[in-house]
Amino acid sequence: MNGNQPDRDAILTMARLAGLRLPAAYENELVDAYTHVRALVLRLPEPRARGDEPAHVFNPARFVAKDD
Amino acid sequence: MVDHLHHLTVADAAELIAARQLSPVELTDACLARIAEIDGALCSFVTVTAERAREEARRAEAEIAASGPRRPLHGIPYALKDIYGVAGVPTTAGSRLLANNMAIENAAAVTTLEKAGAILIGKNTTWEFAHGGPSWDALSPPARNPWNLSYSPSGSSSGSAAAVAAGLVPVSLGTDTGGSIRGPAAACGVAGLKPTYGRVSRRGIVPNCFSQDHAGPLAWTCRDLALVLGVIAGHDPHDPGSAAVEVSDYAAALTGSMRGLIIGVPWRWLEEEMPPDTVTRAAFDAALDVLRGLGAEFRDVALPPIIDFHATMKVIAASELFAIHGPDLRTRPDMFGASLRYRVIAGGLIRAEEYLRAQRSRTALARATQRMMAAVDLIVLPTADAAGPLEPVHPASTFTQPSYTSPFSVAGNPALSVCSGFDGAGLPLSLQIVGRLFDEATVLRVGDAFERATDWRSRRPEFQAQ
């Protein structure tokens, strides 16, 4: 897909893969909304600092019993 | 005795109660009577807990008669945006999906207010799941703006702001994910505070976007916000986002002094990237003059582009909203109001890689914001332009129109909206005051000083029931 806007069929395929089998009445809504969301995704910068990686939110210390 | 009990601030009511010149029962009855009189037109409450409120008020009255008030909120009525859980009270989030939902336990903030002796008077109208609106196809009709019933109170804590402005209740708790406390506070001319992310527990509140949801109060004055925040702020080990940071005495911080404060203004946002309308700009310039007269000094601050905050906030929100609502969207999409469905549905198409990129971007933007905040004590800017008519809005606007509020949801800083005047149609204008992380005390100090230096708190909506 790269930076290109996917076409309607591609968007509906993506929706099906996400488990969304929408009534026809909502398909236009989805395609329109995704067009806007896609534009915002493309706007996101690409900072790659390892320390900023959100996967680091996993913290095993959280499972150790403490002040309940 | 005060002529209009329903217009008492929290601080004034608390003083009268402590002096035994006002009974919590009398004050509660005044609020309930005001709700009965005008809320049919205002639509700011979805549930009124009248019997419960009268019982709590009688208990508070007896306790205060015996040993005086425990805390400043003892005997003070309050309301909640209808996404706060209260055991045994409906919690609908304004959605047909939760039309019959009854919370089984209190939200953490509710328990704290109960312990302080505050009196729950009801639940306020919210945009659906604190996100989609205004909607006419969700569970309940949207709230209206008490300054002009044809106008919007903004969202999503619409009912909270409208109810406080109209004198139905002195304080209400709302939530703010991208501006949902500050926007309605601005539209309705009240004070609304989004505390620092993690300052107030979200446990027991129906989520909108876990990583950006903030809980906070709306009231008529900053002094009232300080009194309420002093009760509800604090670490909650059961909210993973809660911060273990010491809580200040916010009311004691309201000294009126601004000497030596350095205030930043993001002029590039206001003059190049997203200029406010001319009325808002004139009110902002006048507000700067007031702050300058109180002793503040100003400097330009260069924050990252406002569109970067907007894109980051929306991609995170859409992803997390879909994670919450995906199961219902897959099985019963017709139960969503059209506005919320549009805002959520495409979240399911955002890839994990893109969500993580948005989270990385959030960290970078927050870091840039804190670096800029290190050079100033506060940042000020408008909260929003004055309210527009209450009418259906195409939900695409949520993706296409950045706001002055969402950057500080992304960065997590405390941000306050106060009334800074009125436009030619009598609708409120607003000033946003943003502080360093966990420095709500300075934010409230400046908001309070601004309110005392202007006379905008002397005007109330001339509300006529229709």
List CB contacts (< 8 A) between A47 and chain B. 360-361, 363-364
Judge: B314–A14 Cβ closer than 8 Å, yes or no. no
With 70 as the cut, is the pLDDT of residue B466 above it? no
Judge: B348–A19 Cβ closer than 8 Å, yes or no. yes
Average pLDDT over residues B314-337: 97
Average pLDDT over residues B412-418: 98
- The whole-number pLDDT of residue B3 equals 57
With 60 as the cut, is the pLDDT of residue B24 above it? yes
Taking CA–CA distances from A18, the nearest residue in chain B reads: B348
List CB contacts (< 8 A) between B330 and chain A. 19-21
List CB contacts (< 8 A) between B346 and chain A. 30, 33-34, 36-37
pLDDT band for position A56 (50/70/90)?
confident
List CB contacts (< 8 A) between B321 and chain A. none
List CB contacts (< 8 A) between B336 and chain A. none
- The whole-number pLDDT of residue B4 equals 84
Judge: A43–B311 Cβ closer than 8 Å, yes or no. yes
Report yes or no: B221 at the A interface, CB cutoff 8 Å: no
Residues B110-139 have pLDDT tens digits of 999 999 999 999 999 999 999 999 999 999
The reply to whether the predicted model has a pTM over 0.90 is: yes
Average pLDDT over residues A31-47: 92
Judge: B315–A40 Cβ closer than 8 Å, yes or no. yes
- The whole-number pLDDT of residue B462 equals 87
Average pLDDT over residues B31-60: 97
Sign of the torsion formed by the C-alpha atoms of B269, B300, B215 and B12:
negative
Residues B199-242 have pLDDT tens digits of 999 999 999 999 999 999 999 999 999 999 999 999 999 999 99
Report yes or no: A30 at the B interface, CB cutoff 8 Å: yes
pLDDT band for position A47 (50/70/90)?
low
With 60 as the cut, is the pLDDT of residue A67 above it? no
pLDDT band for position A49 (50/70/90)?
confident
The residues of B annotated with a catalytic role in the active site are 81, 156, 180
In a mutational test of the B interface, the residue from A1, A41, A42, A62 whose CB has the highest number of chain B CBs within 10 Å is: A41
pLDDT band for position A52 (50/70/90)?
confident
With 90 as the cut, is the pLDDT of residue A3 above it? no
Q: Between B13 and A50, name the one with better pLDDT.
A: B13
- The whole-number pLDDT of residue A63 equals 77
Query: Could you write out the three-class secondary structure of chain B?
Result: CCCCHHHCCHHHHHHHHHCCCCCHHHHHHHHHHHHHHHHHHHCCEEEECHHHHHHHHHHHHHHHHHHCCCCCCCCCEEEEECCECECCEECCCCCHHHCCCECCCCCHHHHHHHHCCCEEEEEECCCECCCECCCCCCCCCCCCECCECCECCCCCCHHHHHHHHCCCCCEEEEEECCCCCHHHHHHHCCEEEECCCCCECCCCECCCCCCCCEEEEEECCHHHHHHHHHHHECCCCCCCCCCCCCCCCCCCCCCCCCCCCEEEECHHHHHHHCCCCHHHHHHHHHHHHHHHHCCCEEEECCCCCHHHHHHHHHHHHHHHHHHHHHHHHHHCHHHCCHHHHHHHHHHHHCCHHHHHHHHHHHHHHHHHHHHHHCCCCEEEECCCCCCCECCCCCCCHHHHCCCCCHHHHHHCCCEEEEEEEECCCCCEEEEEEEECCCCHHHHHHHHHHHHHHCCHHHCCCCCCCC
- The whole-number pLDDT of residue A50 equals 74
- The whole-number pLDDT of residue B1 equals 43
With 70 as the cut, is the pLDDT of residue A1 above it? no
Residues B282-297 have pLDDT tens digits of 999 999 999 999 999 9
Judge: A52–B358 Cβ closer than 8 Å, yes or no. no
B175 forms beta bridges with B215
Average pLDDT over residues B414-431: 98
Judge: B354–A41 Cβ closer than 8 Å, yes or no. yes
| Nearest chain B Cα distance for residue A55, angstroms | 8
Buried b / exposed e along B245-278 (16+ C-beta atoms within 10 A) = eebbebbebbeeebeebebbbbeebbeeebebee
In a mutational test of the A interface, the residue from B345, B401, B403 whose CB has the highest number of chain A CBs within 10 Å is: B345
- The whole-number pLDDT of residue B363 equals 92
Judge: B349–A53 Cβ closer than 8 Å, yes or no. no
What percent of chain B is modeled with pLDDT above 70?
Answer: 99
What percent of chain B is modeled with pLDDT above 90?
Answer: 97
| Nearest chain A Cα distance for residue B125, angstroms | 26
Listed by number, the residues of chain B in 377-436 with a beta carbon closer than 8 Å to a beta carbon of chain A are 395-396, 399-400
| Nearest chain B Cα distance for residue A67, angstroms | 7
With 70 as the cut, is the pLDDT of residue A65 above it? no
Q: Which of A18-22, B162-166, B230-234, B425-429 has the lowest mean pLDDT?
A: A18-22
ipTM: 0.91
Whole-number average pLDDT of chain B? 96
